Structure 1
Amino acid sequence: MSDIKPDWIAVDWGTSNMRAWAMSASGTVLAEARSDKGMGELARDGFEPELLRTVGDWINGPVTVIACGMVGSRQGWVEAPYSAVPCPALPEGFARAPAQHPDLQVYVIPGVKQASPADVMRGEETQIAGFLARNKNWDGVICLPGTHTKWVHVSADEVVSFQTFMTGELFATISEHTVLRHSIAAEGWDDDAFATAVTDAMARPERLAARLFSLRAEGLLNDLSGAAARARLSGLLIGAELAAAKPYWLGQQIAVIGAGDLSKLYVDALAAQHAPATQVQGDAITIAGLTAAYRRLKG
């Protein structure tokens, strides 16, 4: 039995992994645990056993679990219906997940949907809520880089609209499963190559497909290094995304929430367009959002 006795447990359960934090009532993190069993690897009856395997030592009596992410999808532990924009970042109606353990009460935060253009999010709404909890009366645009990057217009503590870009997934697919796999290094970087590619893509986004193949040709003919090609591929894709998302971020207050290295690429690319952005660490904001959800649940 663990000495850790949380007042509640915060959980971020995505497609590929799960992170959990033992929490005090005041929102202090007491301990952290992780699992590599995400929604994509679990049947509905597998979520509770995996949660207990990961954090079971923390359960020393009745405890509330607040979860966000793909755990609330149709394929998750319980489906938490989407709330339609415009709506609060923490929508009403948390879903109660079925738990057999007598001391577990598990609540899942709903996602957010947009009818036109059609779009959905799960998990990002909790980060948005955490950011707003720490930045009262903030209006502007929040960028959440990742496999599927979100650009979210926030005003009066509500999500007004949002747009998703598959930039991260495109980078992984192109660099690993196309002819460019022969040209793109698995690691390494070139800041100048990235910056130039962002500028090129923003100036002529319609030439993206042609510029992508040029990475292969320049490697064959001009000895373009794999590290430079990697940076240019990232710059081309992020530049094309910024060009498409320009109606969102132009002239707005901007916050970028997520993992440090990837978020910094977006901050740097925006700065080159004279659009300064505030960079925010993703885990801390997720915990802040889950804490806001817990406080709402407890009234």
Structure 2
Amino acid sequence: MEKQAIDWIAADWGTTNLRVWAIAPDGAVLEARRSDRGMGGLAPEAFEGALLALAGDWIGPEGAEVLICGMAGARGGWAEAGYAAVPCAPAPAEATPAPTHDARLRVRILPGLSQSAPADVMRGEETQIAGLLAAEPDFDGALCLPGTHTKWVRLSRGQVTGFRTFLTGELFALLSSQSILRLSLDDQWNAPAFDAAVAEALAAPESVSAALFAIRAEALLATPAPGAARARLSGLLTGLELAGARPFWEAGRVALVGSAAQQAQYAPLTAQGVTLTRHDAETLTLAGLRLARAGLPPIGGARP
């Protein structure tokens, strides 16, 4: 790949990972790379070095424009990019410059979104939402963006009108590794146990805490099927989330944005009469970054 073929660099900087793409003048991806140097393990002064270590050979003497979404813009990140308050369009009208020592770098970070009541924030997901709207400008309905902190989002007339964050993934990690339930889990998976637990939690979310302890009790009193305990823990937490997110999905249509494995966790929604459309998170992230860059004013020397 010739350096002069690169028009700009797109980056998605999460808590645990950094993904970068070299973008050609026609918008095509020339090369993609990934590292585990996420925001969570970096001091503010270390971001520039982490970027150069991963993609420094893409940057010629003429320099490069870098547009970043995600946690690099959080407090304690490379440069705090702030939040746009909902209701608003997910594609921003401005971005925050990040300080650099290397004069070849021209770095900007996109803002996240915030909600005052109930209090909530997101960083990175707004770029995926913008990517969805780039493909489906008339989309009106709910999105689910699974992850450690799953986002449920309501879109109407091109604007994010409200959203809620659920700690489902983090709760699973904590309970499976640091609670008494860890003693009952194996590394296998039992799909019927997962589906049954989702339905149970949806029907009686007030009983989930007791149902969680029953996972341990069942392991002491009997021999659960392989993978049943792990799947049941995941299913109970997923069902609890779905009970809380009912106002988002009860209209009957949800756009799922994530990997195939993440999307599979929400397949039980079809039993509730919900139509699911599935979208690849990386594809939408890139589409959102392209859309954001097109809407931002150019920076010195970056574009004619």
Contact kept? 1:219, 1:225, Cα under 8 Å: no
- Give the Cα separation in 2 of the matches to 1:210 and 1:172: 19
Taking only aligned residues, the RMSD between alpha carbons, in angstroms, comes to 1.3
Aligned to 2:113: 112
Deviations 1:261-283, CA, capped at 9 Å, x for gaps: 021211x1211111111111111
Spell out structure 1 runs of 4+ moving beyond 2 A. 2-5
Verify the 8 A CA contact 2:93 2:295 in the aligned structure 1.
no
Query: 2: distance between equivalents of 1:158 and 1:242?
Result: 23
Letter in 1 for 2:42: L
Task: Indicate conservation of the 8 Å contact 2:113/2:126, yes or no.
Answer: yes
Offset of residue 91 of structure 1: 2.5
Q: Which residue number corresponds to residue 236 of structure 2?
A: 236
Q: Look up the equivalent residue of 2:278 and give its one-letter code.
A: Q
Q: 2:216 matched to 1:216?
A: yes
Matched, 1:51 2:56: no
Fraction of identical pairs, as percent: 49
User: What residue in structure 2 maps to residue 15 of structure 1?
Assistant: 15
User: Could you say which residue in structure 1 is the equivalent of 2:227?
Assistant: 227
Give a deviation string over 1:24-53, Cα, whole Å, max 9, x none. 133211101112111111111111111111
Q: Secondary structure at the match of 2:10?
A: strand
Structure 2 partner of 1:27: 27
* Counterpart residue identity of residue 248, structure 1: F
Where do 1:137-216 residues align within 5 Å? 137-185=138-186, 187-216=187-216
Mapped to 2, the partners of 1:141 and 1:214 lie a distance apart of 33
Question: Does 2:96 correspond to 1:95?
Answer: yes
Paired residue type of 2:218: E
Report how far residue 104 of structure 1 moved.
Answer: 1.2
Note the C-alpha offset of 1:223: 0.5
Q: CA deviation at 1:298?
A: 5.2
Q: Is contact 2:93–2:296 with CA below 8 Å preserved after alignment?
A: no
In structure 1, what is the Cα distance between the partners aligned to 2:86 and 2:25? 30
Structure 2 equivalent of residue 133 of structure 1: 134
With normalisation by structure 1, the TM-score equals 0.96
Cα offset, 1:217, TM superposition: 1.1
Structure 1 runs not aligned, ≥5 long: none
Tell me the distance in 2 between the aligned counterparts of 1:124 and 1:252.
22
With 79-88 and 217-226 compared, the bigger mean Cα shift is at: 217-226
- Residues 60-113 of structure 1 show CA distances to partners (whole Å, capped at 9, x for unaligned) of 222111100010011111110101000111122211111222221111110000
Aligned AA (1:291): R
User: What is the CA–CA distance in structure 2 between the aligned matches of 1:281 and 1:252, rounded to whole Å?
Assistant: 21
The unaligned stretches of length 5 or more in structure 2 are 299-304
- Asked whether the 8 Å contact 1:184–1:226 carries over to 2, the reply is no
TM-score when normalising by structure 2: 0.94
Is the 2:113–2:123 Cα contact (8 Å) retained in structure 1? Answer: yes
1:218-257: CA deviations, max 9, x gaps?
1121201351111111111111111111011111431010
Query: Aligned pairs, how many?
Result: 296
Write out per-residue CA displacement over residues 148-172 of structure 1, whole angstroms, 9 at most, x where no aligned residue: 0000000111110000000000001
Q: 220-229 vs 78-87, which deviates more?
A: 220-229
Q: Which residue of 2 aligns with 1:286?
A: 285
Q: Which residue of structure 1 aligns with residue 269 of structure 2?
A: 270
Residues 190 and 226 in structure 2, CA contact (< 8 A), matched pair in contact too: no
Question: For 1:206 and 1:231, how far apart are their aligned partners in 2?
Answer: 20
Distance in 2, matches of 1:279 and 1:231, equals: 22
